[in-house]
């Protein structure tokens, strides 16, 4: 994936607000789901804040 500039991920921010989930809560859930699939993920509330405010995306391959 290229490192192009992205804008805020307003949809993610809206979904988090509607669901009443904090950035820390989403990070914890993503890490837990990764662990269930044998992945070691280390996302935190700052990671999620960057996803929302800057439109950043996690790097690397993700198994589904």
pLDDT digits (tens, 9 = 90+) for 35-45: 999 999 999 99
* pLDDT at residue 63, as a whole number: 55
pLDDT recorded at residue 38: 93
Query: Checking phi first, is residue 20 left (phi over 0); if not, alpha (psi -120 to 50) or beta?
Result: left
User: CA 3 to CA 15: how far, in whole Å?
Assistant: 25
- Domain limits, the chain: 10-54
14-40 pLDDT, tens digit each: 999 999 999 999 999 999 999 999 999
Half-sphere exposure of 43 (CA within 13 A, CB side): 25
pTM exceeds 0.85 for this model: no
């Amino acid at each position: 994936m290229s490192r192009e500039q992205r804008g805020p991920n307003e949809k993610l921010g809206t979904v988090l607000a509607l669901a009443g989930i904090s950035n820390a809560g989403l990070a914890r859930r993503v890490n837990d789901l990764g662990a269930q699939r044998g992945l070691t993920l280390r996302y935190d509330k700052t990671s999620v804040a960057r996803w929302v405010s800057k439109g950043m995306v996690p790097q690397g391959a993700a198994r589904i």
